[in-house]
């Protein structure tokens, strides 16, 4: 789509987009690239990164916002088929990295999800930031692709 020209050299998400072999890359959609989140406390957690650098979602023309939401919905559907979560949380924050991106976070029932009614960000970092092995990441990405993503 020609979005590559509007990347920011100092943005970590732009740098990730520039590497087609980036670890945890699941697939490319119309407006975004999908990555498995580097911490899989909530199995299937994905992050969709807008293909070009934009700081605010509202600054995008409405047709792009609609296409981006279609990407988010496609990821949520694949997560639902692959992992059967009880619920999915959708978050577009920008507080830490100023590049439009969506977290699509599957939520499960207790005890798999210790506090399913609270946002994941209130969980202790030691619990939430558990990483994911290379083999497990490949397995999870395979499930997402098998569920129609990519």
Residue 119 backbone dihedrals phi, psi, to 5 degrees: -65, 150
* Structure-token pair, residue 134: 């290379």
Per-residue pLDDT averaged across 36-64, rounded?
A: 96
Query: How many domains does the chain contain in total?
Result: 1
Residue pair 52/32 in contact (Cβ under 8 Å)? The answer is: no
H-only helix segments in the chain: 12-17, 62-83, 125-128, 134-146
Which residues constitute the domain of residue 35? 3-146
Separation between Cα atoms, residue 95 and residue 121, nearest integer Å? 12
Express as a percent the part of the chain with pLDDT over 90: 74
Residue 100 pLDDT: 97
Distances in Å between the Cα of 39 and the Cα atoms of 7, 49, 86, 95, 130 are: 25, 16, 19, 18, 5
Separation between Cα atoms, residue 59 and residue 75, nearest integer Å? 23
CATH number of the domain enclosing 42: 3.30.428.10
Separation between Cα atoms, residue 80 and residue 86, nearest integer Å? 9
Separation between Cα atoms, residue 115 and residue 21, nearest integer Å? 35
Residue with tokens 């999800």: 113
70-129 pLDDT, tens digit per residue, is 999 999 999 999 999 999 999 999 999 999 999 999 999 988 888 888 999 998 888 888
């Amino acid at each position: 789509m020609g979005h590559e020209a509007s990347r920011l050299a100092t943005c970590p998400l732009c740098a990730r987009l520039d590497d087609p072999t980036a670890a945890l890359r699941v697939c490319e959609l119309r407006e975004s690239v999908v990555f498995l989140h580097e911490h899989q406390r909530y199995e299937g957690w994905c992050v969709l990164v807008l293909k070009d650098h934009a700081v605010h979602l509202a600054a995008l023309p409405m047709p792009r916002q609609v296409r981006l939401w279609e990407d988010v919905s496609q990821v949520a559907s694949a997560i639902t088929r692959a992992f059967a979560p009880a619920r999915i949380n959708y978050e577009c924050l920008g507080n830490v990295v100023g590049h439009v991106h969506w977290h699509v976070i599957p939520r499960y029932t207790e005890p798999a999800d210790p506090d399913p009614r609270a946002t994941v960000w209130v969980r202790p970092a030691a619990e939430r930031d558990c990483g994911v092995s290379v083999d497990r990441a490949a397995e999870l990405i395979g499930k997402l692709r098998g569920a129609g993503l990519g």
